[in-house]
Structure 1
Amino acid sequence: MNIGKLKLSDALTILHECTFGRLGCISNDEPYVLPINYYFDGKYIFSHSLPGLKIDAMRSNPRVCLQVDQIRDPYHWRSAVAYGHYDEIVDPQLRESVMAELFKHIEQMTPVESKMIGSSEKMIVYRIKLTEVTGVGEEW
């Protein structure tokens, strides 16, 4: 077994190839981690949410991270962590184009996303501007 750091290019490849990760943020001075669907354009990670604890947390403390992994089995895996800052997208045209692109990357809507149809005025669209990307893997 050989666990080691990934090259930046490999960590970025993981972010590009995946559409599901775990968002880490701070809520009421406590770590808060939850799954999200996303897409990565090489500069920003884009996602969306209905209002709630996650959005409140990111508005209060915009420093966030996203952990994404690719797992073949317990001995063959790679993981990338992207660090950055939350930025809420309020421009209506940009929101619409981000959502269209997001749904191109997601094969099937989750139950929560299905409920968002017709309630786009409530939906929060955001991006994470990356400040650092790291990666680690085992025997990939």
Structure 2
Amino acid sequence: MLDHLKTNNRVWARRKVSDDPDFFRRLMRQQAPEYLWIGCSDSRVPANEIVDLDPGELFVHRNVANLAPPQDANYLSVLQFAVDVLKVKHVMVVGHYGCGGVAAAVDGKRRGLIDHWLHPIRETFDKHRHELDQIADE
């Protein structure tokens, strides 16, 4: 069922070693990324690829709709680890157009558990709906 992913991984690994024989040896050491990327889980936004960084160069935290809630232990743990342990120099909060999570938060439909996660977006949308309605679509 997942054979194509295994094959893709082997091809990718061979290509990496062919391009740089020490690539995996360097990755075995402690990572030392300069950047923490806080972004959306959207499969169309592959963090490393769109900024052209190799594994080990970008520490990544992703979730639906790119939220950074102050009560989320996962997000806070990633942030603390990145800053205190990895000593990243830059924290990037990266959004994108056409976010399905944001669309789901504001379309008025109820979906279950995800509604709890998206509540801060819905609440902000409701509070500022008049101003948002004044913005012309691009």
With the length of structure 1 as denominator, give the TM-score of the two structures. 0.29
Higher helix share: 2
* Larger RCO (CA under 8 A, 6+ residues apart): 1
Normalized per residue, the structure richer in strand is 1
Larger Rg over CA atoms: 2
